[in-house]
Chain A
Amino acid sequence: MITRRFAVLLAAGLPLPALLPAPWPAVGGVLFVVAGLALIDLITAGRLDGMQLRRDGDRTVWLGNTATTRLTVTNTAERFVRLGLRDSWVPSAGAGPLSHSLALDPGASGTVTTTLTPTRHGDRPAVRVTLRSYGPLGLAYRQRRRSWNAGVTPPWTLRVLPRFPSRRILPEKLARLRVMDGTLVTRGRGHGTEFDVLREYVIGDDVRSIDWRASARHQDVVVRTWRPERDRRVYCVLDTGRTSAVRVGDAPRLDAAIDAALLLAVLAARADDRVDLLALDTAVRARVEGGGHRVQLPRVIDAMASLEPALVETDFALLGRELLRRDRKRALVVIFTALDTAPMIEGLLPVLPRLAARHKVIVAGVRDPAVARMASLSSTPTAADVHTAAAAERVLFERDRVRDVLSRSGATVVDADAATFAGKVADVYLLLKATGRL
């Protein structure tokens, strides 16, 4: 194929027909010379068959940060090659720069660096590397078909971990966890039911926690201290069905659920609880179970990154089958979903009593702040505003009803705006932990 330089060379011959005595032969001559040069250029351009591509670099990145991947091209052919190269990623990977150029001697290799600033979480694949070999004059080039280019492209996927905006409230929640744990303040009995250690009585300790038998052995007054239970199970269930696809503010509802689940997982891991993850709609989309405390959390985060909302109705019967298996131990099941009437009443409610009998169930729904805003009238409302407020009140009423029904079936319901959602879920967890009801 020809380059723009070919056209420029033709344009450079424009004055010749006017200057030379025979205009039409002059046109033919210009055309012949330029086409001949382009043909020579095409023949002398290096072959693309000898190119070998290799890629290395970042595999994971947090959303909002920047990752780099390096693409190494090795020329195994016997001729010098001038390459034009385009590294194509999906647009949401935010790849740049778009095109590179390389000049490679036989046996040499060159590296181009692609910077990636993803705009969405999930797996962002590298789609295709397109190669183009220019001739020495730059008049013509060789380029193979798209399928050939796709064939030589080394596969690469960048896993973009979800944004974790509730990271900033994590220290506060951890501090409350430590208070409960007794590392900052030791206050007699309470904050847990698990026996921790015996220590000497100091003034201020609750006299009810004095261990008289141990005091008799030690010749001193000894009190028992307690700490929260460890090794409880926290089971995060993410609903990736159609209700998770709608936008709350500017992000899908699933993003808020993932954020809250991340906070809960980090918190629970610090509290020495086991965190499991199940994401499902009509089928199980992600499952992280088992494994030790320390390795579990990265796996949970990794599994959450690849979740995408699916436009299907969530099958809560599948959730029931998963959680009511005989070998399941009692766990805190946190179901991240939306408190919409139909899916809750028809889907979750039938299985909820059996779930609540076996586990401690929290149903956490992300609320749209726009509904509450529209339910209150402005200072100078119009009739349309009143109708909107009525519709919003109806939504609020139905949500309250769903909340009541779910509570009556034995679930704890968390219903909060996207901004405070993660904090509210964490508070409920901490409360349950502090009162030993896990």
Chain B
Amino acid sequence: MTTRRDRRWLRVAIPFAVLVTLITGTLLVHAAEQPDPADADFLSPASSAGIGSSKLADRLRRRGVAVVRETSTAGALAATSDGDATLLVTTPGLADLDRLSRFDGLPAGTRVVLVGPEQAALARTDWPIRQDGEHLWTTAVIDAGCADPVATAAGPAAVGRLRYATAPCYAGALLTTTWGGLTITAVGAADPFRNDRIDEHGNGALAAGLLARTSRVVWLDVHHRDVQPSPSPSPSSRSTETPFAGPSTGQTPRETGAPGDPGDAAPADRAQGPDQPNPLAEAFPPALWATLALLGLALLALAAAAARRLGTPVAEPLPSRVPADETMLGHARLYQRAHAREESLDILRAAARRRITAHLGLPAGATVEDIAESAGYQVDDVREVLAGFRPDNDAELVSAANAVQHLVREITGFEGDQP
């Protein structure tokens, strides 16, 4: 009985658990399927993986466009300094857009193509691009729907993941705007550039069309956060902290390109390499660590001292805890659950009849008429109470039971507990 009641919560818990598992699993799979910009293959012209972009790079080369791969923002700035170039920013969230959007950054006439820039990345720039609404769960295929020649030539393409305000093409997913001599294009999704999606719809034509307007494409292929580090206090590092000074400093990060490395850090720091000790360990004096070790040992000794008991606990043979009326209450709940109103009332009426006949000194099988005659009541009244209607609901049952009890108490004159 108790185990069944203990398991009743499972009826609620199991459907919810299944639902929660399904939703969580879907979310996890969805998150795992999303390409990660920090993945080295993501839209890289040198990668032939599904999320790479080697096919697009090959197509551009076949059309006579030079593809220059740069792995840092500083390198990309240097490579576009000659002018007449398209800068493809595959990971706007990781690239240093702030530096690109400065007035002394890119030369005028440079075309910038941003792949799926989110509002967080756009907020770091002065460019008049604003994301419109949240991103969609999947990329939608949209018709061009505008007069842009590249879009019209490409036709429907899978660009509809992010939308930008005031963008006419692809229902807002492709925005081309000019700012300070730059032509900036924001594409709403990375799908047109990916190896595994480039052949679908008009994806290839759109991507190639956007990039083939100039003779050179500078492909900014960064997969770690390429943000300018805050100035270091040491004067020696500050002297090398001017990446725009010349192309020589701009080339160095392309060689190292280690993830997590700020790229523009001082050469002295970089020389220490992997032998660099844990900075947390050096931040505190060894005396602190020694004290902590001693404190740990003291606590361990305290635990060991408390662990050994002076005698283990003693078990008690317990008596039974079953109350005498347990079966009776179980029956009562069974009647109630089965809505056995008639049966319950019959039992009460039979008990009342026994009590009344015993009180009046009648034989055991006395009829209602005998009882009414002996007690001095109307026969119909007594019959109504002791053999009356069948209760259809709980209210009728309660009133009928009350009437039975009142009759017994009136006839026997007994008010307290029954014998």
Chain A residues engaging chain B, CB cutoff 8 angstroms = 1-4, 6-8, 10-11, 13-15, 17-18, 23-24, 26-27, 30-31, 84, 86, 88-92, 99, 120, 127-130, 132, 143, 146, 149, 245-248, 252-253, 308-309, 311, 368, 370-377, 381-397
Contacting pair A246 B302 (CB below 8 A): no
Docked CA distance A385–B304 (Å): 58
| Extra inter-chain contacts (10) besides given A14-B291, A132-B310, CB under 8 Å | A4-B305, A7-B305, A10-B294, A18-B288, A130-B310, A248-B324, A382-B394, A384-B332, A389-B344, A393-B350
> Are B322 and A84 interface neighbours, CB within 8 A?
no
Q: Which one, B107-115, B171-179, B248-256, B398-406, is touching chain A?
A: B398-406
List chain B positions with a Cβ less than 8 A from chain A: 285-291, 293-295, 297-299, 301-302, 304-306, 308, 310-312, 314-317, 319-326, 328-329, 331-333, 335-336, 340-341, 343-345, 347-348, 350-351, 354, 394, 397-398, 401-402, 405, 417-419
Give A86 to B313 CA distance when docked, in angstroms: 11
**A245 & B308 in contact (Cβ 8 Å cutoff):** no
Kindly list chain A residues whose C-beta atoms are within 8 Å of the C-beta of B315: 90
Residue of B320, B321, B324, B417 touching A376 (CB-CB under 8 A): B417
Is the pair A245, B322 in contact by a Cβ cutoff of 8 Å?
yes
Query: Is there an interface contact between A382 and B398, defined as CB atoms closer than 8 Å?
Result: yes
- A311 and B291 in contact (CB under 8 A), knowing A149-B311, A393-B351? no
User: Given contacts A376-B417, A390-B335, are A246 and B323 in contact (CB under 8 A)?
Assistant: yes
For A3, the chain B residues whose CB sits under 8 A away are: 305
Question: For residue B302, which residues in chain A have a CB less than 8 angstroms away from its CB?
Answer: 4, 7
Nearest chain A CB to B369 CB, angstrom units: 24
Q: For residue B323, which residues in chain A have a CB less than 8 angstroms away from its CB?
A: 246-247
Nearest CB of A to B337, in Å: 9
Residues of chain A within 8 A (CB-CB) of B306 are 4
**Choice from B301, B325, B354 contacting A374 with Cβ under 8 Å:** B325
Are A390's CB and B301's CB within 8 A?
A: no
24 A–B contacts from the bound complex (CB under 8 Å): A1-B304, A11-B298, A14-B291, A84-B310, A91-B314, A99-B310, A143-B308, A247-B321, A252-B319, A252-B320, A373-B417, A376-B418, A381-B402, A388-B332, A389-B401, A391-B329, A391-B331, A391-B335, A393-B347, A393-B348, A393-B350, A393-B351, A394-B331, A397-B350
Contact B324 A253 (CB under 8 A): yes
**Taking the nearest CB of chain A, how far is it from the CB of B120, in angstroms?**
46
State how many angstroms separate the Cβ of B410 from the closest Cβ of chain A. Answer: 14
Query: Which of A127, A377, A386 neighbours the largest number of chain B CB atoms within 10 Å of its CB?
Result: A386
Q: A27-B294, A308-B319, A395-B328 are in contact. Are A386 and B305 (CB under 8 A)?
A: no
With A376-B417, A381-B401 given, is the CB distance from A127 to B314 under 8 Å? yes
